[in-house]
Amino acid sequence: MAAQSSISQPPVPLAGRVAIVTGSSRGIGRAIAIHLAELGARIVVNYTSKSDDAERVATEINDLPAREVVTGKGPRAIVVKANVSEPSEVKSLFDAAESAFESPVHILVNSAGVLDPKYPTIADTSVEDFDRTFSVNTRGSFLCSKEAANRLKQGGGGRIILMTSSSTRILKPGFGAYAASKAAVETMVKILAKELKGTGITANCVAPGPIATEMFFEGKSAELIKSVATECPFGRIGEPKDVVPLVGFLASDGGEWINGQVIPVNGGYV
């Protein structure tokens, strides 16, 4: 009789938990969705316009090697279209998660966001672009947090993680509307954490520095990208893989004592 292997299986910290990751068809959101799935979570891949990209993310998650782990009903990942700046669509996003997985949502990661690729000064920012920035970045975070604050209570606690930006500290010209939209979210999360006292729900912001995504590269010259990289002590632009371990930790039981915080993850860029 063959001896049983003494090699233990790696822990599955999010086994059976349901996570909504907004803006997860690409960029940082995509990397977060896949990472949380690797930790055992069942994932709602959210998108607004890139349906093919979202489907590819869900397929990649559903094709991950099986671990004894994923408890609960339904697939490991589903795709849901929703504009986070519209209350009815945010509600439908949570409804779809609860229906598909027959479970309350345990984790919200709001990664949906926009950045004006023209990097205009405040004097040159149109009212329409300002409103769009705040609609997605600030209103979207508010609506998702509001829904999560009510829905996650039904699951006996959970995690609200909002993606902001190190631009709220760097304060570079050309990022006035964007940085302001993210600074509002950071203020809101600190209050939200206090308002959720007694629920077991934590609320935090993760604030990446420059990350090599489509949104970051859009509108930037090669010279500007090189200049940004040299400002970091590591001499490079960050990558999504540099951000996801922190999000995974905050989503897990180990992150319970971190609450109401804004955590930069930027390699010392600021």
Q: Residue 86: inside a domain, yes or no?
A: yes
- The pTM of this model reads 0.93
Based on the structure, what is the number of domains in the chain?
Answer: 1
Instruction: Give residue 9's pLDDT band: very low, low, confident or very high (50, 70, 90).
Output: low
Residue type at 82 in one-letter notation: A
Asked whether residue 233 is assigned to any structural domain, the reply reads: no
Structural domain that includes position 192: 18-208+241-265
236 assigned to some structural domain? no
In a domain, 1, yes or no: no
Interval 193-234: pLDDT, tens: 999 999 999 999 999 999 999 888 888 889 989 999 999 999
What does the pLDDT look like over 131-156, one tens digit per residue?
A: 999 999 999 999 999 999 999 987 77
| Active-site residue list | 178
What stretches of the chain show up as alpha helix (H) in DSSP?
A: 27-38, 51-62, 87-101, 127-134, 140-151, 167-170, 176-195, 214-217, 222-230, 240-251
Evaluate whether residue 176 is within a structural domain.
yes
Which CATH number goes with the domain that contains 137? 3.40.50.720
Mean pLDDT on 22-51: 96
